[in-house]
A and B are shown apart, each in its own frame.
Chain A
Amino acid sequence: MPNKEQEELIYRNNRELHYSFDPQKGYTRKVDYQYAGNQIIIQQGWDVVESRLKDVSEKIRQGKLSPVAFYMEKNQMELPMLSDYTGFMRWRIKRHLKPGVFSRLKPGTLSKYTSVFDISVNELLNPQLI
Chain B
Amino acid sequence: MIELNYEHRQAGHCESGVTSNMLNYHKLSISEPMVFGIGAGLFFSYLPFLKMQHAPVTSFRVWPGMIFDRTTKVLGIKTKIYRFKNPIKSMNKLDEVLAQGLPVGLQVGTYHLPFFPPEYRMHYNMHNMVVYGKKNDRYLISDTVVEERVDISYEDLMRVRFAKGTFAPRGRMYYPLAVPSTVDLKPAIIKGIRKTANNMVGVPFPLIGTKGIRYLANQMRKWPEKLGEEKASYYLGQVLRMEEEIGTAGAGFRFIYGAFLDEAGIVLKQDWIREVALEMGEAANHWRKFSYLGSRNCKKRAKPEESYDMLGDMLMECAGKEEKIFRRLARIR
Report A's interface with B, CB cutoff 8 A: 1-3, 10-11, 13-23, 26-27, 29, 31, 34-35, 37-38, 40-46, 48, 75-77, 80-81, 84-85
- Tell me if B249 is interfacial: C-beta within 8 Å of chain A: yes
Kindly identify which residue among A31, A40, A80, A81 contacts B298, using a CB–CB cutoff of 8 Å: A40
A13 to B258, CA, bound (A): 28
Closest B residue to A75 by CB, please name it: B111
A43 to B246, CA, bound (A): 13
For the side of the interface on B, what is the size category?
35 or more
CB-contact partner of B295 in A11, A21, A38, A76, under 8 A: A38
**CB proximity of B311 to chain A, nearest CB, Å:** 13
Contacts A/B (CB < 8 Å), 10 sampled: A1-B288, A2-B292, A10-B119, A18-B250, A19-B250, A20-B250, A37-B244, A40-B298, A45-B241, A77-B165
> Do the beta carbons of A26 and B295 come within 8 Å of each other?
no
Contacts known (A11-B119, A38-B244, A41-B298); A31 close to B281, Cβ less than 8 A: no
- B123 at interface, CB cutoff 8 A: yes
Can you name the residue of chain B whose Cβ is closest to the Cβ of A52? B54
Contact B164 A21 (CB under 8 A): no
* B189 at interface, CB cutoff 8 A: no
The A/B interface has a contact count, at CB < 8 Å, of 121
B122 interface residue per 8 A CB criterion: yes
Question: CB-CB < 8 A to B258: which residues of A?
Answer: 21, 27
B234–A48 CB distance below 8 A: yes
Instruction: Assess A17 versus B255: contact at CB under 8 Å? Given A23-B282, A38-B291.
Output: no
Residues of A with C-beta under 8 A to B238: 45
**1/0 per position for B257-268, CB-CB distance to A under 8 A?**
011001000000
Question: Is B240 an interface residue when CB atoms closer than 8 A count as contact?
Answer: yes
Which of A19, A43, A44 is in CB contact (< 8 Å) with B255?
A: A19
A15 and B147 contact, CB distance less than 8 A? yes
Residue in contact with A41 in the complex, picked from B118, B244, B246, B282, CB distance below 8 Å = B244
CA distance A116 to B258 in the complex (A): 43
